[in-house]
């Protein structure tokens, strides 16, 4: 007989609708999972995969909100499933609805292909280019960067991004224009634009301007609203727009 | 298919929708505005005739809607300019509330002066 933790009724079940399918299409399937006082959405998905459907595909690694690989769409919002308690997203008796992240190609079930997301980081100039050593060599001297300087604080504001793709999946502009670089890539670009040690400012600003870049952002701020790390990609994009405006006005881009 | 609003029901998204919709409606109104102004070229009588017609309550109500749309679009536009040019990171939702409040105040002010 299954042991039931204290304070719970044996028959309590949680209804879960999980999207099953692949790139060709799919549909929601319903599962019943034992309801627990404390369970995360990732616990629920894991229960289904271990006890009911061994072929359910999903992705996770750290389970503690460090790696950012378990992001999925839960009841209409992109989230880290490991840091989302079921009771926070579903009222008692309410069903859970879990689907793969939006705006990314589905590999199978809840696992999406993150390649387009990271390709856009590269396209937005997301790699640090040392000013003193363009060939990638270690500079002879350490840079002195006062942590309290305005630019460093602006860089620090966005540097904790771990690339989970929640903002990207929440962004309507990405849905409307598949070439749009997206919030995470431009948050990274803005971080590097503010890094005084970086030497690729002009190339980077060029890469993030135009129709697929910051100028397409409508400031709906869903990225900022959803970021599990409370970062503010929307303000980063506004910063890029502002910098490009003044740089173009004073002819600093050419 | 009905759009899924669950991920979009937050103040700054609503502000985006209001700004966009008010802008589109104002653009649709512009030809009517120019036509009304064009009446003045036809002579005083034509314009006066139109203005008398415009005094009926239904047109006044539409005029009120127009004032609110204009105030919404102006306040929303100033909000976007502020967040892009001033780089304020904090208090974005308060800015949405302030712009909505300005539009509401403009609407009330217009209603108080009607009649």
Q: Which residues of B touch A226 (CB under 8 A)?
A: 7
Model pLDDT for residues A208-240, shown as the tens digit of each residue: 998 999 999 999 999 999 999 999 999 999 999
According to the model, what pLDDT value does residue B44 have? 81
According to the model, what pLDDT value does residue B112 have? 85
Average pLDDT of the residues in A12-29: 96
Residue ranges per structural domain of chain A: 13-112, 115-249
CA dist list (Å): B53 to A135, B48, B61: 75, 9, 13
According to the model, what pLDDT value does residue B49 have? 83
Euclidean distance between CA atoms A1 and A14, whole angstroms: 20
Option in B4, B12, B20 nearest A221 (CB): B12
- Name the one residue in this structure whose structure tokens are 């790390």: A229
Which chain B residues touch A if contact means CB-CB below 8 Å?
A: 4-8, 10, 12-13, 16, 20, 80, 83-85, 87, 89, 92
According to the model, what pLDDT value does residue A112 have? 98
**Domain A13-112, second-level architecture:** Roll (3.10)
- CATH fold, domain B11-113, is 3 helical TM bundles of succinate and fumarate reductases (1.20.1300)
Kindly tell me if the per-residue pLDDT of B59 is higher than 80: yes
β-strand A13-22 against A96-99: which pairing, if any? parallel
According to the model, what pLDDT value does residue B43 have? 80
β-strand A96-99 against A71-74: which pairing, if any? antiparallel
Under 8 Å between Cβ of A153 and A180: no
For A242, name the nearest residue in chain B, comparing CA atoms only.
B85
Residue among A111, A180, A44, A99 nearest B7 (CA):
A99
Kindly tell me if the per-residue pLDDT of A10 is higher than 60: no
Average pLDDT of the residues in A27-53: 96
Kindly tell me if the per-residue pLDDT of A140 is higher than 80: no
According to the model, what pLDDT value does residue A1 have? 44
Q: To the nearest whole number, what is the mean pLDDT of chain A?
A: 92
- Which residue of B4, B9, B13 to mutate against A (max A Cβ within 10 Å)? B13
State whether A225 and B13 contact (CB < 8 Å).
yes
Option in B7, B10, B87 nearest A235 (CB): B87
Model pLDDT for residues A102-131, shown as the tens digit of each residue: 999 999 999 999 999 999 999 999 999 888
Under 8 Å between Cβ of A94 and A76: no
Q: Please identify, in words, the CATH class of the domain defined by A115-249.
A: mainly alpha
Kindly tell me if the per-residue pLDDT of B1 is higher than 70: no
Euclidean distance between CA atoms A172 and A189, whole angstroms: 20
Euclidean distance between CA atoms A194 and A24, whole angstroms: 42
Model pLDDT for residues A63-115, shown as the tens digit of each residue: 999 999 999 999 999 999 999 999 999 988 899 999 999 999 999 999 999 99
């Amino acid at each position: 007989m299954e042991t039931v933790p204290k304070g719970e009724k044996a028959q309590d079940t949680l209804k879960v609708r999980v999207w099953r399918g692949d790139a060709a299409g799919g549909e929601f399937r319903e599962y019943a999972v034992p309801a627990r006082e404390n369970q995360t959405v990732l616990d629920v998905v894991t229960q289904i995969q271990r006890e009911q459907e061994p072929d359910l595909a999903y992705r996770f690694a750290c389970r503690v909100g460090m790696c950012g690989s378990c992001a999925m769409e839960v009841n209409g919002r992109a989230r880290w499933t490991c840091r989302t308690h079921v009771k926070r997203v579903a009222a008692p008796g309410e069903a859970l609805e879990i689907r793969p992240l939006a705006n990314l190609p589905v590999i199978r079930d809840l696992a999406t292909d993150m390649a387009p997301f990271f390709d856009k980081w590269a396209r937005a100039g997301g790699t640090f280019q040392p000013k003193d050593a363009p060939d990638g060599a270690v500079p002879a001297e350490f840079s002195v960067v006062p942590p309290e300087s305005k630019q460093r604080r602006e860089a620090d504001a966005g540097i904790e991004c771990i690339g989970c793709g929640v903002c990207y999946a929440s962004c309507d502009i990405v849905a409307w224009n598949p070439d749009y670089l997206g919030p995470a890539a431009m948050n990274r670009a803005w971080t590097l634009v503010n890094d005084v040690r970086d030497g690729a400012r002009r190339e980077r600003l060029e890469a993030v301007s135009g129709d697929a870049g910051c100028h397409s952002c409508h400031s709906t701020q869903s990225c900022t609203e959803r970021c599990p790390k409370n970062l503010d990609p929307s303000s980063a994009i506004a910063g890029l727009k502002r910098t490009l405006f003044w740089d173009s006005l004073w002819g600093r881009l050419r | 298919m009905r759009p899924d609003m669950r991920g979009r029901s937050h103040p700054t998204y609503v502000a985006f929708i209001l700004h966009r919709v008010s802008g589109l409606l104002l653009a649709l109104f512009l030809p009517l505005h120019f036509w009304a102004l064009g009446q003045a070229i036809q002579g005083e009588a034509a314009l006066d005739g139109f203005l008398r017609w415009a005094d009926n309550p239904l047109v006044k109500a539409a005029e009120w809607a127009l004032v609110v749309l204009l105030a919404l679009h102006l306040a929303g536009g100033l909000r976007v300019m502020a967040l892009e040019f001033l780089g304020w990171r904090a208090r974005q939702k308060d800015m949405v509330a302030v712009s909505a409040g300005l539009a509401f105040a403009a609407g009330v002010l217009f209603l108080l002066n009607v009649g």
